[in-house]
Structure 1
Amino acid sequence: MAVFLFYGEDTYSQKEKLKFWQAEFEKKYGGNMNVTVFDGRYAAANEIFQACSSMPFLSDKRFTIVKDFLAKRFGEEEEPSEEKAIMADLIEKIPDFCILVFSESVSPDRRISLYKKIKKIGKLMEFSAMGGSKLLGWIQKIVEKKGGTIEKDALIFLSEFVTADLYKTENEIAKFVGYAKDRAINKDDIILLMDTQLTTNIFKLTDGIGQKNRKVALDTLHNLIDNGEELHGILYMIMRQFRIITMIKDLVEQRFSRDQITIKLKLHPFVVSNTISQVRNFSMEQLKRAYKLLIKIDTKLKSGGIKVLAGDNREFVLAMDRLVLDLC
């Protein structure tokens, strides 16, 4: 018997590993006839045990995958369900011919007996959220897999916007590669094509600040955060929008036309057209002050002055709330 527990924030890598294991098993042991997959939120412990204990058909091994069994089950209250306790008792009785993998999309409760039993007799495999050079390497690999190349500064820039949903990022990368065609992806491509929901909300947020509408600004900010957008990415896009407003305001005051502004700042015409409507809501002093406050938050975020832990972004939210209230 071989028992594994996959868990961690990086569900993309976890699913890819599970997919690879299943493919290798089917290749070695003759297809998927001896593969069983359960939705653990609904499956009974005895049902899983029966599947694991059934003799393999024309093969030496059986492969059983149970998804989200250790997580809170359907209809379960705060206390762990009886099914988990039953599974903890049955797990040692599973025959040697079975490979059993528990795959959890959220970190399991380490206090329950089933977790302790798997830790004792099996193997735990944690998939931590990607970051740093590992994340940069993953982005580079996906770009190349899609048949593209990417400039170094664009690679670093894109990494700031990566959330826990790496499947979404992979789809975004495919979009960037298709747009760039035979040349390398650059920062402008990413900004232009990035998830329109993000860019729309950033515009709405700065618009709310400009109109001194605290409710709109705060609601939009919290929507961005609640939707799982990367915190550094949110901050970068807000800073970028205020920087663009400042530059366009300066040129408007110098009586530059819309086309001249587009050419001079090398921005997409759509970005210029949308931003011109925001210019009148801010004085140059307000824009400079907003940018200074944003830089202060950015510095604290990078230096650890604002602590952001896994699943706990309260300090960042508080700092951004104060910023909005200060500017409104």
Structure 2
Amino acid sequence: MDIKSAIKDIKAGKVSPLYLCYGTEKHQIQEFVKLLQDQLVDRDQRDFAVATYDLTETPVEVVVEEAETLPFLVPRKLIIVRDSSLFMAGKEGGKLEHKIDALASYLNNPADHSVLLFLVNGEKLDERKKIVKAMKAAGTVLSFMPLGQNELVEWVIRGVEKRGCRMDREAAETLIAANGVQMTSLAVEVDKLCLYAGEGGLIDSAVVEQLVARSTEQNVFVMVEHIAGLKLDKALSIFYELLKQREEPIKIAALIARQFRIMLQVKDLARQSYSQQQIASQLGLHPYAVKVAGEQARKFEAAQLKAILNDLAQLDYKMKTGGIDKVLGLELFLLKLGA
């Protein structure tokens, strides 16, 4: 079952007694947990109806015992289990010994007065484990991985609309470019923009640029984008602004090198017919970042990217050994690159 279907079922009152949520997109997982809480438990009853466990501290048989115990003063309870390493590769639960058979037995006959929710922070489950197969057969297993570019843009627009405001696609893309792809920080920025716009207000790119401050990493990302587009004046403008903010030139150079390294890696993997999602997984990057890096990489030959990285390595050595003034060295590098 996919996430949308699971959410639709929950809102319709069709709640599974067993859920396993895994993936790296923590914000989406938190939203799913909140949805379950809101649908299952009244806010004033949560002290009685919601229990939270961590399998690095509590044996899984204790969780099973909690699930089998009748709820007190509430019709049904939600049991949230974090750090569920027993579903992933490696030793289950670290130092603790877990009685997996107790959980396996419970999965065969889950209590109707409990909803057991496991949260796993990891890209994939260990499909070789019997307990993973048992959970897939008995419950609802959901994957929460980073959204693609279009999905992320749509998620931002929906978030704005839920708050009673309006935002076009260009403004959403501007927000992602300025803030980055982390959904938690994007949600914070959406809240701020909607407070500024007011009920029914329109949030356009100009408003985003006015209110959303870029991090150093995002400034470097945009600076490289300007360099790739041969907009040297804009790239230098960002560089000088970073210096005004007292950013260390060595750090700026390292971030520039990181972006060009990603461009070279994306270009190389794309040439080997890797898909965007496969490249993102291989490099540990968000699909949106891979897409933008791919677009940037198309403006350079592989040999050019290697030469740029070599120049950056030499610049880094000179800056750290006093062979050149750090600001002047980075400025000359940008001028050479733009030329």
Which interval holds the TM-score relative to the shorter structure?
0.5 to 0.7
Structure 2 distance, partners of 1:112, 1:249, is 51
Change (3 A) 1:11 1:162: farther
Structure 2 distance, partners of 1:310, 1:199, is 18
Give the residue type in structure 2 aligned to 1:56: P
Deviations 1:98-123 (CA, angstroms, capped at 9, x unpaired):
21111222233222232121112222
Aligned residue number for residue 216 of structure 1: none
1:134 aligns with 2:151: yes
1:197 aligns with 2:216: yes
Aligned residue number for residue 112 of structure 2: 96
Give the residue type in structure 2 aligned to 1:311: S
Deviations 1:172-191 (CA, angstroms, capped at 9, x unpaired):
33344566776533168448
- Equivalent residue in structure 2 for 1:246, among 229, 232, 249: 232
Structure 2 distance, partners of 1:162, 1:301, is 25
Structure 2 distance, partners of 1:311, 1:132, is 15
Q: Secondary structure at the residue paired with 1:83?
A: coil
Change (3 A) 1:116 1:321: farther
1:35 aligns with 2:50: yes
Deviations 1:133-164 (CA, angstroms, capped at 9, x unpaired):
32222111223345544343232343456766
CA RMSD in angstroms, aligned pairs only: 4.5
The Cα of 1:166 is off from its aligned counterpart by 0.7
Aligned residue number for residue 274 of structure 1: 241
- Equivalent residue in structure 2 for 1:79, among 71, 84, 91: 91
Structure 2 distance, partners of 1:274, 1:23, is 45
Give the residue type in structure 2 aligned to 1:68: D
Change (3 A) 1:4 1:141: same
- Equivalent residue in structure 2 for 1:3, among 1, 18, 23: 18
Structure 1 distance, partners of 2:163, 2:179, is 17
| TM-score (structure 1 length as normaliser) | 0.61
Change (3 A) 1:121 1:145: closer
Aligned residue number for residue 156 of structure 1: 173
Deviations 1:180-204 (CA, angstroms, capped at 9, x unpaired):
776533168448733333256x2xx
Contact 1:29 1:61 (C-alpha < 8 Å) held by counterparts? no
Give the residue type in structure 1 aligned to 2:150: S
The Cα of 1:28 is off from its aligned counterpart by 10
Contact 1:177 1:185 (C-alpha < 8 Å) held by counterparts? no
Structure 2 distance, partners of 1:248, 1:61, is 59
Change (3 A) 1:37 1:163: farther
Contact 2:50 2:79 (C-alpha < 8 Å) held by counterparts? yes
Structure 2 distance, partners of 1:276, 1:85, is 56
Q: Secondary structure at the residue paired with 2:18?
A: strand
Alignment of 1:110-121 (within 5 A): 110-121=127-138
1:325 aligns with 2:325: no
Structure 2 distance, partners of 1:154, 1:105, is 31
Between the two proteins, the alignment pairs up a number of residues equal to: 258
Aligned residue number for residue 12 of structure 1: 27
Give the residue type in structure 1 aligned to 2:146: A
| TM-score (structure 2 length as normaliser) | 0.59
- Equivalent residue in structure 2 for 1:167, among 178, 184, 195: 184
Q: Percent identity?
A: 17
Structure 1, unmatched stretches of 5+, are: 203-233, 251-266, 278-289
Aligned residue number for residue 81 of structure 2: 66
Q: Secondary structure at the residue paired with 1:20?
A: helix
Change (3 A) 1:314 1:7: closer
Q: Secondary structure at the residue paired with 1:247?
A: helix
Q: Out of 165-174 and 22-31, give the one that drifted further.
A: 22-31
